Amino acid sequence: MMQSLSGLLACAALAFFIPASAAEPAASTLPGHYYLQGVTEVGSELLLKKDGTFEWMLSYGNTDQQASGEWRVAGDTVTLVAGNHGDKEPQFRVFEESEMRIQKAAEAGLWVAIVGFPKVGPMAGVEVKFEAQSGKTATAVSVANGDAIVRMPASERWVRAGLRRQGSKTDYQWLAVPPERAQERIAAFAVTDPQWLRSQAFQKLALRVVEGGLKVDDADNGLARGLYAKPASGQ
């Protein structure tokens, strides 16, 4: 009788034991290209990459939104975390003179660094460290129009600029200021990848793994509701 009861208890324990891997979606099956379904007049795509990064876009009417960053999975929830570009840092170069649209020198006493991408637009949030020939330095962060401006005495001569994202702990990327730009106290620096200019539609977005795809599971994000599904081919 005792042996029979022990067997029943063992069976009961097995019946209630579900491995965590069986209860959660396999992360290896999630990467791929998804398209928003069931929302009229709205087009949206989501690409989950195997390296843990994502790209997302949404278009309706004359409005286009985008986001990129990293994705992670916990339980039945996939969370998109935008705006960090993974572990990458922006790279910069000096504008070519042919790309410049500057018509005059900076005002006396001011040094101006313009940050952006030629013929595309400005880049805000770049910390610029100005260095004079004497070793004197000053720092400013580029604003919405791409300008970072500091005050410097007329006796100082600008020799180089260090650039990095605002808040970054990485070393500055130092670039020599061309003599003509130094004389006019205004220079332009281009980010090499224009993706850094694109604003993010959200900082974080949660999607629930459901039958057929991923469903927006964030009630307050203001984005389109619906199901993100892979094409029938699975590509």
DSSP state of 10: H
Given CA atoms 22, 24, 28, 30 in this order, what sign does their dihedral have? positive
- Whole-number Å distance between alpha carbons of 65 and 46: 12
- Whole-number Å distance between alpha carbons of 131 and 177: 10
The pTM (predicted TM-score) of the whole model is 0.56
- Whole-number Å distance between alpha carbons of 234 and 32: 8
Give per-residue pLDDT as tens, 16-27. Answer: 333 333 344 566
Give per-residue pLDDT as tens, 54-89. Answer: 989 888 877 778 888 889 999 999 999 876 555 578
Give per-residue pLDDT as tens, 136-168. Answer: 999 999 998 999 999 999 999 999 999 999 888
**185 pLDDT band (50/70/90 cuts)?**
very high
Residue 65: both structure tokens together: 């939104």
